[in-house]
Structure formats: structure tokens, C-alpha cells
Amino acid sequence: MDYSVLFSERILALPVLLLSIVIHEFSHAYVAYRAGDMTAASQGRLTLNPLAHIDPIGTIVVPLLQFMLPGRLPLIGWAKPVPVNPLHFRSAEWDIFVSLAGPGSNFALVVLSAILLKISVLTGLVNAPALLGIVQRAEPLGTVLLYFIMINIALGIFNLIPIPPLDGSRVLYRLLASARSPLADHYAAIEPYGYFILILILMTPAWRLFGWIASTCQLLVFRLIF
């Protein structure tokens, strides 16, 4: 086994992950701007410059740990949350659109990468057997596109989990609030404990459900390509 090839392939995942989470946060900022909220723009977050979005733990430490311990940690990360003020939105419904903008950008990257990879395979730019590991051969283009698909599927699904501070929690809260459900206030009360809840989930078998969903979605996309 050529370990230098494996190393070069794994290291390609780091810039892919960084670009994916930057686009995720930029999408939040852009849709918030379109909704009438200038908070993110005024704080310099309406940009694709990674330096404006880096979170020391989620953007640096977690990805490096995943790189050094492949297969033991999920291939995900996060950036600093984009600041938004829903009071500035033109209507309350924009809160849902702003929240879904991040995961939506991840799924859009999945579709774009899948189309480009399919074209690359059909035109011979990417050798499918090499990319699938049937033969040993470096495929940088195919590997990068493959990582874009895998990472963004994981990021999109992960951020839809309805636990604060993930995007899915804002969507669920807005739906409860719009329905005038008494559960809305109780749900909002758990926000300060969201990170602790996420950590507990990461330490339990419940995390395997996320992995199964992400892996199943990746497999379905791969079957469409190959």
C-alpha cells in the first residue's frame, strides 16, 4: 500500500472542509443581508475570506484531529456563527430562510460536485476504478470532488440536527413560534445547554445514526455517478 498516496489524498480534505464551512457561513450572512439585516455585513462577515470566519476549535483543532486520526472522528467542522438580528428581518419567515441557507449551500455544493465528477468520469478526466480504489493511482481531481460530496453531505445533515446552536434548532423554534406552540419557550430555554447536549450525543451510540444517514446519502449519490 502506498502510504504517501493515502497521505496526499487525506490532506486534500482540509482545504475542502475549510472552503465548505466558509461558504456555509457566507450563505447565512448573504441571506440575512437580503432579508434586511446588516449585522453580519457590518462586522465583516459578508465575505468568503476564511480569516473572517475561523473558529479556533471547529475550524482548526477538530479538522486536524480528524486528519491525524482518520476514521475515528467525523469529517466535519464549524466556523464562528454569523451574527444575525431577526428583529431586522422584513418578516419572521426570513428567520427560516437564513437558517436553511447554510445547509442549503452545502447541499448545493454536493449537487455541483456530483455533476462535475460525473462529467469528469464520462470524459475520462477521472479514472473511476482508481477513484474507487480498484487500482492504485492518484486522482487529485476526482479525490477533491469526492471530498466535496462527502464533506458537504455530512455538514448539511449535521447542521439540520435540531439542537442549539445548529441551524436545525432555529428552524424548529421558528416553526413552533409561528404555530404559537407553548413548547417554543421551553425549547428556547435549552439553548445555553446546546453544546453540552451535542457533546453527550457524540459520546453515545446515538451518533451512529448520524453516521448511518450521512453514509447512506453518500452511497446514493455515488451510485448516481458511477
**What confidence tens digit (pLDDT) does each residue in 28-78 have?**
999 999 999 999 999 999 999 999 999 888 888 878 877 777 655 556 788
Cβ contact 118:186 at 8 Å: no
On average, the pLDDT of the chain sits at: 86
What Cα–Cα distance (Å) separates residue 77 from each residue in 3, 137, 138, 147, 200? Answer: 25, 29, 26, 14, 17
Residue 5 contacts by C-beta under 8 Å, 6 or more apart in sequence? 136, 138
Q: Please report, for the chain, the start and end positions of each structural domain, with discontinuous segments joined by +.
A: 3-225
What is the residue type of 146?
Answer: L
Cβ contact 66:73 at 8 Å: yes
Q: How far apart are CA 128 and CA 153, in angstroms?
A: 21
pLDDT of residue 3: 35
44: left (phi over 0), alpha (psi -120 to 50) or beta: left
Residues of the chain with pLDDT under 70: 1-9, 70-75, 133-138
Q: How far apart are CA 53 and CA 57, in angstroms?
A: 12
What is the residue type of 48?
Answer: L
Give the largest CA-CA distance in the chain: 59
| Active-site position among 25, 93, 139, 191 | 25
9 is catalytic: no
Cβ contact 78:55 at 8 Å: yes
User: pTM (2 decimals)?
Assistant: 0.89
DSSP characters over 149-186? HHHHHHHHHHHTSSSTTSHHHHHHHHHHHHTT-THHHH
**What confidence tens digit (pLDDT) does each residue in 206-219 have?**
778 888 899 899 99
Cell of residue 206, nine digits: 446515538
